[in-house]
Structure 1
Amino acid sequence: MLRRYSDKTISCYRARLAHYRHWCHTRGYQTGTIRQTINALVFWAERSTGQAPDDRAAKQALRGFTETFNRTHPPAWRVAGRRSPRRRRATVPRPLGDGGERP
């Protein structure tokens, strides 16, 4: 059974891959094996053979590499000396009890 991809999804995959390749090229990185590459290979394999290939082993290998890499390398924003790009969530003060102490 073939997976059905909408035109928007295919366009999104293409745009993401093009953006990633451009980003790697401008920074001197290789575009090695990534999840989107595996998804693209699955897409084209389905179209050429008529059946979906088993991609679990490839994705498991990628997951293992990513986990190991993330444990041994600090995030890029930290190496560059910048603050995290994620916004901090606003803290909501807890309500106080009758006497001003916390419940």
Structure 2
Amino acid sequence: MKKGTWVEIHDIILKPEERTGMIPEETKKVPLEMRMKGYLLEEAEAGSRVKIETLTGRIVEGTLLSENPTYSHTYGETFIPELLAIGRDLRKMLEVDHE
């Protein structure tokens, strides 16, 4: 990937044995991981150790995962009817406040 490409990196922040004792047992068993997006500072290939510059100007190091990453946030496969009503209910509340 070329220098200046928008990329996503990954890094292990804390190994399981380095994590605090004040977290659930299941959580203690896994590392604390980071994923971050930014601009690639030097040409590199996926899987290599790289540095990026984030939108806020931070320089962060990690393993290069992907080029031009997309967002994939969802609420899962479950249908949540309450989410449909939020906009309608909020609009009604705002109309009442302006009367």
TM superposition score normalised by structure 2: 0.22
Higher helix share: 1
Higher strand share: 2
